[in-house]
Amino acid sequence: MKRKIFYFLGFVIISLVSCSKGDDATTTTTTPPPNNNNIDPVGVWRFESSVSTQYGNTFTIDTIKYPCTVKNILIINSDGTAIASYTGNDTCFIQNTPTLVSIMGLKGESRSGTWTRSENTLTTILPNSSTTNPVLITTVGQLSIVNGKYKLTSKVTYPSIDYTLISTSTK
C-alpha cells in the first residue's frame, strides 16, 4: 500500500510541476527578467526532472530517460487557478526496479486547484487525483532563472511515509 501511495504521489507531484510553452519548433522564447522576483509564473510549466527519496532509496527521473514525462504539465493561470495534467496519448510508465513499475501520467488526467506567490516562492494546492474524494497536496516551489531559462524547483515531503520529492520544471 505504501508503494502505491509513494508512486501515486510521485505522479501527482511531477504533474504539478511540469510544463513549458508548446511542443513544436515554432515556440518563441522570451528574454527572462534579471530579477527572480520579476518572473511571471503565469503560463505552462513542463516537467524536466525529479529526484525522490523514500526510506533511504533514491530514484531519479528525467525526460531523456523517460520522454513521456515531458507531457506532465502545470498551467498557472492569472486568476489564481492552476491545472495539472498529462497531455500524452498513452499512459506514461516508469520502470523503477526490475519488478516495480510506476505510472507517471494517465491519458486525460487533469486536476484543478489554486496557486499563490510570495516573492520568488510559488505554492500550489492541487488534489492528488480527479476522484470524488481527493486529498489536497501543497507543493512549494522556487522560481529562478538558470542558463536563460525560467525554472520552477518544487519540494514536497511526506514524513508519514518518509518520502521527499524534488522536481524541476521549465517554462
- 135-146: pLDDT as tens digits: 888 999 999 999
Q: How far apart are CA 40 and CA 7, in angstroms?
A: 31
In a domain, 48, yes or no: yes
Taking alpha carbons only, the member of 130, 146, 137 closest to residue 115 is 137
In a domain, 160, yes or no: yes
- Mean pLDDT, the chain, rounded, equals 80
With a cut of 60, say whether residue 9 has pLDDT above it.
no
In a domain, 28, yes or no: no
In a domain, 52, yes or no: yes
Residue 6 domain boundaries: 2-20+38-170
Does the pTM surpass 0.85? The reply is: no
Q: What is the pLDDT of residue 59?
A: 87
In a domain, 60, yes or no: yes
In a domain, 25, yes or no: no
With a cut of 90, say whether residue 5 has pLDDT above it.
no
Q: What is the pLDDT of residue 23?
A: 41
In a domain, 82, yes or no: yes
76 contacts 45 by C-beta, under 8 angstroms:
yes
Helix (H) or strand (E) holding 162: none
Q: How far apart are CA 129 and CA 111, in angstroms?
A: 7
Q: How far apart are CA 150 and CA 171, in angstroms?
A: 5
Percent of the chain, pLDDT > 70? 74
In a domain, 31, yes or no: no
Give all strands (DSSP E) within the chain, no chain letters: 43-54, 57-62, 72-76, 81-86, 92-97, 100-105, 110-118, 121-127, 136-146, 149-158, 163-170
Residues present in the chain in total: 171
Number of domains in the chain: 1
- What CATH number is given to the structural domain containing 101? 2.40.128
68 contacts 92 by C-beta, under 8 angstroms:
yes
> What confidence tens digit (pLDDT) does each residue in 42-82 have?
999 999 999 988 888 888 999 999 999 999 999 999 999 99
The amino acid present at 12, given as its one-letter code, is V
